Amino acid sequence: MAIKTPLLDQINTPADLKALDLADLETLAHELRSETIDVVSTTGGHLGAGLGVVELTVALHHVFDTPKDVLIWDVGHQCYPHKILTGRRDRIRTLRQGGGLSGFTKRSESEYDPFGAAHASTSISAGLGFAVARDLRKTDENVVAVIGDGSMSAGMAYEAMNNAGGMAERMVVILNDNDMSIAPPVGAMSHYFANLVSSRGYRSFRKMGKAVAKAVGLEKTIRKAEEYAHGMAVGGTLFEEMGFYYVGPIDGHDMEALTQVLKNVKSFDKGPVLVHVVTQKGKGYAPAEASDDKYHGVAKFNVVTGEQKKSAAGPPSYTKVFAQSLISEAAKDDRICAITAAMPGGTGLDLFGEAYPDRTFDVGIAEQHAVTFAGGLAAAGMKPFAAIYSTFLQRGYDQVVHDVAIQKLPVRFAIDRAGLVGADGATHAGSFDIGYLGALPGFTVMAAADEAELARMVATAAAIDDGPSAFRYPRGSGTGIEIPANAQPLEIGKGRIVREGNRIAILSLGGRLQEALKAADDLAGRGFSTTVADARFAKPLDEGLILRLAREHEVVITIEEGARGGFGAFVLHMLADRGALDSGLKIRTMTLPDVFQDHDTPDRMYDVAGLNAVHIVGCALDSLGREDEAAAIIGAAQ
């Protein structure tokens, strides 16, 4: 008996799904789920959300005509099954690796990714843009936006829905509700009702009924009665009020229900429709179903046992050091409280929440609200710490400016993932916070060189009562340095000399200090006495320390894990204002390169960025006129 070829092996593009019947679609979904589990077990990455949308992914590509029809995923980490079905299966095991596939949708990667999505709640806005462009071009493609995994907690989604409903643009929004936060339990009746209200017959009857009601003067009464009956049955009143035709909730793992409803809504000829699909995060893989939070993003794991590969024992992560330091400060001051925007585990506030549940607030994927909420707490006399990744804080920047900085409110921003972040790539790199916070009057901006410094910066921020402050720290483990039991606040705007020399000065801000010390050892071996200083503060600058370095050294190099226009630029401004650049000082600024760096291993990313010890040595030698020697050293390291 011949062995039957797996269906998944026969799928090269979504067009290959068109001829499949219901049984084949269900088989394909089973194979796709197994493939997704196997892939992520070897690459690591986001797992739970992708497993939850397997049936939905198959149904969407079966019903719609991608890539002509526009399919936007929000958030992008739901997209692994989508990538497998859209011609990328042969590369799927390069996921999140250098030169491989991105862990998110990416326009430059495939025509099936019409809009990149790594941050949440963008799909409806982008989808509306595609829908309006379609109508202006007078083409006929469908536009589908899949939003979920908590993304509906962000205000941007509702702004987009309000706009789309008001414009009555033809588009489909799929609400992937994978935590039962909105929907009542689903069952046969809700499936029946969803299929009924999305069917052409029902819509024709509805239209006729409205015409009759209008003729006899009962249009408003009938509309309200229908709306509230519909809302009581399936929970769609909110979306109907925003101008969307609501369908659902339906079981996101019922292939028959999904395909029927999607075929119905595909035939809608005007106006936006929202299809409410209820899925289970981690569906089909028992360890992920049992612990969806731990399987949201995973390291490599054993498929049979679900056990994730553990890192070798070493120093605690910066995230954990922050959490423990904040817990210590909160024990001394009951005004200290903490805010996270849907990332309690990622920011360490899950630990703080265990210690102080009444002082811990998770506001969902709503960074703008998180910042202004923290501002309100500060204005009322509390001491809020807003723990938000650098890349996510960008989403609340207007609130940082208007609701915190202008009002001089003492909100403390704990900025995790500052700098490069490895496999998550450009969308999650913390590249810009030094510049965008340092530009704001009255802001205190700190960067931790090691875990002991981070503990002291938490204490410093807790002590600042006259304005906003921020302290940044990298992803990953600390350096192994001993953390003081009772960390004392730093003197505001004062750096420290770590190593004394007299010819070259390396002024480091943040996590590159250890590389600066390695570079100093190398330079000393070449006969160049080198000073290493830890700036600690990007704002206010330690002007006395910097002027001393400029006065007593032939070369000054600043180094930071941030984009151009940050710490190095601040130093140059200050030295220019003080006339210190007129003395022939050779000064160089080392920053992240002026590109969006693709994902890779952290070590490789630092090499590409030119921020390792060898690059510091090369920069110093080049400044001293030893260009050939510098080039040889850097070339040998590549």
Alpha carbon distance 538, 366 (integer Å): 27
* pLDDT value at residue 193: 47
* pLDDT value at residue 162: 92
**Interval 244-268: pLDDT, tens:** 999 988 999 999 999 999 999 999 9
Q: Are 450 and 506 in the same domain?
A: no
Please list, in sequence order, all residues whose beta carbon lies within 8 angstroms of the beta carbon of residue 138, skipping any fewer than 6 positions away.
none
The confidence band for 213, taking pLDDT boundaries of 50, 70 and 90, is low
Domain-embedded: residue 282: yes
Domain-embedded: residue 484: no
Phi-psi domain of 408 (left: phi exceeds 0; alpha: psi -120 through 50; beta: other):
left
The confidence band for 44, taking pLDDT boundaries of 50, 70 and 90, is confident
**Interval 603-628: pLDDT, tens:** 899 999 999 999 999 999 999 988 88
* pLDDT value at residue 382: 97
Domain-embedded: residue 630: yes
Q: Are 201 and 338 in the same domain?
A: no
CA angle (513 as vertex; 453, 352 as ends), nearest 5: 30
For residue 211, pLDDT beyond 60: no
The CATH number covering residue 359 comes to 3.40.50.970
* pLDDT value at residue 201: 56
Q: Three-class SS string for 283-345?
A: CCCHHHHHCCCCCCEECCECCCCCCECCCCCCCCEHHHHHHHHHHHHHHHCCCEEEEECCCHH
pTM of the predicted model, to two decimals?
A: 0.84
Closest CA to 415 of 454, 471, 458: 471
- 281, 412, 512, 539: the catalytic one is 281
- C-alpha distances in Å from residue 204, one per residue of 210, 234, 432, 515: 10, 21, 53, 70
Please give the structure tokens belonging to residue 436: 């965008």
Average pLDDT over residues 154-172: 92
* pLDDT value at residue 630: 82
Among this protein's residues, is 307 annotated catalytic?
Answer: no
Q: Which residues pair with 444 in a beta bridge?
A: 469
For residue 192, pLDDT beyond 60: no
- 96, 395, 475, 539: the catalytic one is 395
* pLDDT value at residue 234: 47
Domain-embedded: residue 480: no
* pLDDT value at residue 494: 98
* pLDDT value at residue 230: 52
Please give the single-letter amino acid code of residue 115: F
Please state the φ and ψ torsions of residue 624, each to the nearest 5 degrees: -90, 10
For residue 302, pLDDT beyond 90: no
Among this protein's residues, is 281 annotated catalytic?
Answer: yes
For residue 589, the SS3 value is strand
Q: Are 247 and 344 in the same domain?
A: no
Alpha carbon 231 to chain centroid distance? 33
Provide the domain limits for residue 432. 318-472
Alpha carbon distance 17, 373 (integer Å): 47
Alpha carbon distance 182, 231 (integer Å): 12
Strands 530-534 and 496-499, how do they pair?
antiparallel
The rounded mean pLDDT for the chain is 88
Among this protein's residues, is 408 annotated catalytic?
Answer: no
Closest CA to 149 of 28, 45, 46, 71: 46
Q: Are 332 and 465 in the same domain?
A: yes
Q: Which residues pair with 384 in a beta bridge?
A: 337
Q: Are 383 and 522 in the same domain?
A: no
- 169, 240, 367, 515: the catalytic one is 367
How many structural domains is the chain composed of? Answer: 3
* pLDDT value at residue 120: 82
